[in-house]
Amino acid sequence: MNYSLTEITHNMIDWAMAHIGDKSYAGWCLSFIEDALEISNDIEIFGCDSAKESCEMYRDALRTGIPEQGAFVFYDCLCPSEDGPVNWGHCGIALDDGSVIHAWDKVRIDHYLDVEALTALTGDHPKYIGWVPVTRVLAEKPHDGEARNPLLDLILARRSYRGKFQSTPVPRDDLRSIMEAGLAAPSGCNKQTTSLIAVDDPEMLQKLRAVIQPPVGETAPAMICVLTQRICAYRDRCFAVRDYSAAIENMLLAIKALGYQSCWYEGHITDVDRIGAQMAKILGVPDEYELVCVLPVGVALDEIRSPKKKAFDERAWFNAFPTVE
Ligand SMILES: Cc1cc2nc3c(=O)[nH]c(=O)nc-3n(C[C@H](O)[C@H](O)[C@H](O)COP(=O)(O)O)c2cc1C
């Protein structure tokens, strides 16, 4: 059955309204809004595991302010889990008067901002993020029906992972592919100031971990150490930091593309206690190189978390910096 957008929206809202007071969706806010849209219209939409993940998926179309009728409305919200509170988020469907129908303790209606006054089992309160129009939710292939580019999806899905890793080894071919991606990055005046060492030998990993304090990537079966050389690229200008930054981002994306997780660990590696220098010594790195970053590589054991990012409009514009109103 092919419905118009208006019919789809009304069918969804009618279905949701018929479930007011239903306690079976308590704690299943995303299932509730997905069921409302899917069951009432006999369609399937692309599903996610949590409201937060769903919100991330639609982030390109996320808007703030009063949600329009039928919009999926998203909140940050800490939920209980075996590992402690996790931001799985909260969500509902916007009605035509700024209120939201959503599954909390039961299916209920609250003004979209009054939802923030509710208390989750963690004691946390939902925090309004924004809304996406139902057209975006229905877009099987986002961006107005264009096939979504898998590389862009990968870039948007990359997250810093600081959890534990599975013991599954990372094959050498994969480590090589990741390093090739790093070395393929642009570098100022093509000086190629970045070099890499992948460590997968358990004894060497052990030695390196002994100096990384506080520990990072402790359980990772492999790590990639990033080395840089201060070579002048143009007159007295050295682009080494930009060079290795580009290489690191390429590697983070390659790591993700191959099904692994990682995090850019540079902060305390290059701090005053000179952990990077100690690691370089263990690895036999010559003096003219500096070890500036460590990327653990492995299959994630824990949940991959998403930090809150500012909205697109707060950081990116077209043609000119926005004028202050
Ligand atoms: C230059 C740089 C240094 C970083 N150093 C660290 C670090 O020492 N420890 C850490 O946990 N994360 C580090 N990160 C990761 C950032 O904390 C992370 O990218 C940021 O919180 C955004 O999260 P996301 O990567 O999931 O988007 C670093 C990132 C960059 C770009």
Determine the pLDDT at residue 164.
95
Determine the pLDDT at residue 141.
47
In this structure, are strands 86-87 and 99-103 parallel, antiparallel, or unpaired? unpaired
- How many degrees, rounded to 5, is the angle at CA 176 between CA 162 and CA 302? 20
The structural domains of the chain, ordered by start, are: 5-157 (3.90.1720.10), 172-297 (3.40.109.10)
Tell me if 270 CB under 6 Å of ligand 1.
no
306: which residues sit within 8 A by CB, 6+ positions away? 52, 53, 56, 87, 159
Tell me if 252 CB under 6 Å of ligand 1.
no
In the DSSP assignment, the letter for residue 44 is: -
Cβ proximity of 107 and 16 under 8 Å: yes
Q: How far is the CA of 162 from the centre of ligand 1 (A)?
A: 10
Tell me if 253 CB under 6 Å of ligand 1.
no
CA dihedral defined by 193, 199, 205, 210, rounded to 10 degrees?
0
Determine the pLDDT at residue 145.
42
Determine the pLDDT at residue 229.
98
Rounded to a whole number of angstroms, the distance between the first and last alpha carbons of the chain is 47
For the chain of 325 residues, list the mean pLDDT of each consecutive stretch of 10: 81 96 94 94 85 88 91 94 89 96 97 96 93 82 53 88 94 97 97 98 98 95 98 93 98 95 95 94 98 97 80 88 83
94: which residues sit within 8 A by CB, 6+ positions away? 67, 68, 69, 70, 71, 72, 73, 100, 112, 131
Determine the pLDDT at residue 60.
79
Rg (CA), the chain: 24
Determine the pLDDT at residue 4.
80
Q: Which atom of ligand 1 approaches the CA of 159 most closely?
A: 26
Using CA atoms, how far residue 157 sits from 25, 57, 304, in Å, is: 28, 8, 10
Tell me if 268 CB under 6 Å of ligand 1.
yes
Choose which residue among 263, 268, 270, 310 to substitute to test ligand 1 binding: the one with the highest number of ligand atoms within 8 A of its C-beta.
263
Determine the pLDDT at residue 148.
61
Tell me if 307 CB under 6 Å of ligand 1.
yes
Output the pTM of the full model. Answer: 0.64
Across 195-226, b (16+ Cβ under 10 Å) vs e yields bbbbbbeeeebeebbebbeeebbeebbbbbbb
Question: Residue 122 corresponds to which tokens in the numbers above?
Answer: 């963690």
φ and ψ of 182, to 5 deg: -65, -45
Tell me if 159 CB under 6 Å of ligand 1.
yes
Ligand 1, atom 20: closest residue by C-alpha? 160
Across 290-310, b (16+ Cβ under 10 Å) vs e yields bbbbbbbbbbbeeeeebeeee
Tell me if 248 CB under 6 Å of ligand 1.
no
Ligand 1, atom 14: closest residue by C-alpha? 264
φ and ψ of 228, to 5 deg: -135, 155
Q: How far is the CA of 160 from the centre of ligand 1 (A)?
A: 7
Q: How far is the CA of 159 from the centre of ligand 1 (A)?
A: 9
* Alpha-helical segments (H) within 18-126: 29-41, 51-57
Choose which residue among 59, 87, 160, 242 to substitute to test ligand 1 binding: the one with the highest number of ligand atoms within 8 A of its C-beta.
160
Q: Which atom of ligand 1 approaches the CA of 162 most closely?
A: 11
Determine the pLDDT at residue 205.
98
Tell me if 160 CB under 6 Å of ligand 1.
yes
Determine the pLDDT at residue 127.
96
Ligand 1, atom 8: closest residue by C-alpha? 267
Tell me if 267 CB under 6 Å of ligand 1.
yes
Q: Quote the CA–CA distance of 187 and 192 in Å, as a whole number.
A: 6
Q: How far is the CA of 96 from the centre of ligand 1 (A)?
A: 41
Determine the pLDDT at residue 168.
92
Ligand 1, atom 18: closest residue by C-alpha? 160
Determine the pLDDT at residue 294.
98
Ligand 1, atom 6: closest residue by C-alpha? 265
Question: Residue 22 corresponds to which tokens in the numbers above?
Answer: 């239903």
